[in-house]
Structure 1
Amino acid sequence: MKEKVGFSNERFAGKTAIVTGAARGIGESIADRFVSEGARVLLVDLNPDVEATARRLGQTALIKSVTDADAGARIVATAMEALGKIDILVNNAGIGGSKRLQDTDDELIDRFLQTNLASLLRITRSVLPRLTRPGGRIINISSIFGLTGYPGTTAYAVAKAGVAQFTRQLAGELGPEGILVNAIAPGVIATPMTTGRQQNALYQRLMIEGTPLERVGQPEDIAGPVAFLASEDAAFITGTVLPVDGGILAARHGKI
């Protein structure tokens, strides 16, 4: 983890959060940031490594696939037992490795839609009755691939576009209850899920060299904006899908 600067370790004192997909990568960094700022966190992941991550942070882990039929109920029950309340829900869990539509079978379509989209709806639906009102926060992790086209990622991109629309839809429904719903749309972030793609020459040229900041993002680059959206500094922000992408949606680098 990068050295943490520029924030108070008391900003989330007394707050609780659920972070899915928290064993490593972006989810681990989000959980780390919340804990560093005083929150108590339930880390959820199918990967058993989530237990080691939670031990490192002094928090609670739940080994669970977000696609399981009872995932929402288990997450809520564990959170209420360990944390006593739920202030923040971060829907981060997801999978990569999509293909062109003509190379995508029904099983792969179902995997992407269930893991990257439908699970968010079901888990959020389960959490809502327990989410703090007013002041609750829901932060979804979408993708820049859900905001613009990129060939060869059809099922993934469609699911992530659904996450963006889910965010806007839910913001309208929950705003009167004092619950804010926003999303982050990461660009290329250095995680185990993107390692293979980063070695692809075309991907390197288009998505990394073509980024104005000319670098791959780090998980901490996502954790900071998530913490902002969960904080009181974002009290008048809801329904926003914030790209955190090194500028690639704004402008392709001129040397391409």
Structure 2
Amino acid sequence: MGEFASYKNKRVVISGCFSGMGEATAKLLLQLGAEVHGLDYKPSKLGLASFTQVDLREPAAIDAAVKKIGGKVDALFNCAGLPQTSPALDVMKVNYAGTRRLTEQVLPLMSAGGAIVSISSNGGLGWSRRLPVLMGLLKIDNYDGIVKWCQDNAETVREGYAFSKEALIVWTMMTSTHLIKRGIRINCTMPGPTQTPMMSQFEQATAASVLEAAAQPINRRSTPEEQAGPLVFLNSDAASYINGVALPVDGGFLGGVATGQIDLSAMMAGAAKSA
């Protein structure tokens, strides 16, 4: 990526830097010259400018972590997440409520030219079918209110993973129109199946036919490094006109679905059996 997307003299914050896509992203940012401040539930072994252990299920811990980092922040990478094998409310807290809280706490440290990117998922591709419900959730602007909504709407939230990723996509789109007026961009990615330590949890909870279908047409899972590149690009100056995008990083899966070349019937049948 070199000078095209250089992070020299840039100060960045990244959640989920312990492993998987977050760790791969942090490594790439270090290679590109960034001053990297990491957050995670588990300690990172990388040579970061700072590391703060934080639980995204605890808003006070999020606030304290951001206060500890302080200073100007040029870019935020929201890479922390939980799989559907965790309790549904915990999944919603980390994947949406905690990610949103972290972003809103970092925003006062950002100025024009700043950028934010979050990891959503192809598991959230059904967002358009539930837009009215999602917009109702997104209107709630405080952590405790979001948690209560999730508790009161457990049948909608279900296992938490798909719904949290849908919420993250729509929140990114909605927020982008406001932040860009301050010169700050926000985007997210929609990874396909990726071979990270979390993949074993997906394999426990998801039918093999679903995972196999989601890896088409490229017919393999991505590596964490293949997901890190697009994340780093989206927050770089090279992507200065990209805003409010949910970028598929899936080897062509959504393209195949949109053009009828990938049949979702087996995938949907497998998903129903997994539920």
TM-score (norm 1): 0.82
User: Counterpart of 2:11?
Assistant: 16
1:124 aligns with 2:103: yes
Q: Does 1:88 align with 2:78?
A: no
Check 1:247–1:226 CA distance in 2 against 1; reply closer, same or farther (3 A cut).
Answer: same
Matches within 5 A, 1:142-157: 142-148=120-126, 154-157=159-162
Contact 1:62 1:75 in 2 (8 A): yes
| Per-residue deviation, residues 22-59 of structure 1 (Å, max 9, x unmatched) | 101110011111111010111110113x1x2x3xx343
Question: Is 2:172 the counterpart of 1:185?
Answer: no
What amino acid does structure 2 have at the position aligned with 1:26?
Answer: M
Q: RMSD across aligned C-alpha pairs, in angstroms?
A: 2.4
| Separation of aligned partners in 2, 1:9 and 1:135 | 16
1:92-113: per-residue Cα shift (whole Å, max 9, x none)? 11100349xxxxxxxx332121
Q: Hey, what's the Cα distance between the residues in 2 that align with 1:168 and 1:73?
A: 24
Which residues of structure 1 form unaligned runs of 5+?
A: 1-5, 100-107
1:76 to 51, 66, 69: 66
Question: Which residue of 1 is the match for residue 27 of structure 2?
Answer: 32
CA, structure 1 residues 96+254, in 2 after alignment: closer, same or farther (shift >3 Å)?
Answer: closer
Residue matched to 1:171: 176
The one-letter amino acid paired with 2:209 is R
Q: One-letter code of the match for 1:145?
A: G
SS of alignment partner, residue 70 of structure 1 = helix
Match of 1:63 among 49, 53, 62: 53
User: Corresponding residue for 1:140?
Assistant: 118
- Give me the whole-angstrom Cα distance separating, in 1, the residues matched to 2:113 and 2:48: 25
Distance 2:56 2:24 in 1: 19
Q: Is the 8 A contact 1:9 1:38 kept in 2?
A: no
Look up the match of 2:39.
Answer: 44
Bigger fraction of residues in helix:
2
Gaps of 5+ in 2: 128-157, 267-275
Q: Supply the distance in 1 between the matched residues of 2:212 and 2:35 (Cα, whole angstroms).
A: 35
Which secondary structure does the structure 2 equivalent of 1:90 belong to? strand
Work out which of the residue numbers 91, 111, 127 in structure 1 matches 2:90. 111
Change (3 A) 1:145 1:10: closer
- Number of residues of Structure 1 aligned to a counterpart in Structure 2: 231
- Share of identical aligned residues, percent? 30
Q: In structure 2, what residue type is equivalent to 1:138? A: I
3-state secondary structure, aligned to 2:253: coil
Asked if residue 97 in structure 1 is aligned to residue 84 in structure 2, the reply is yes
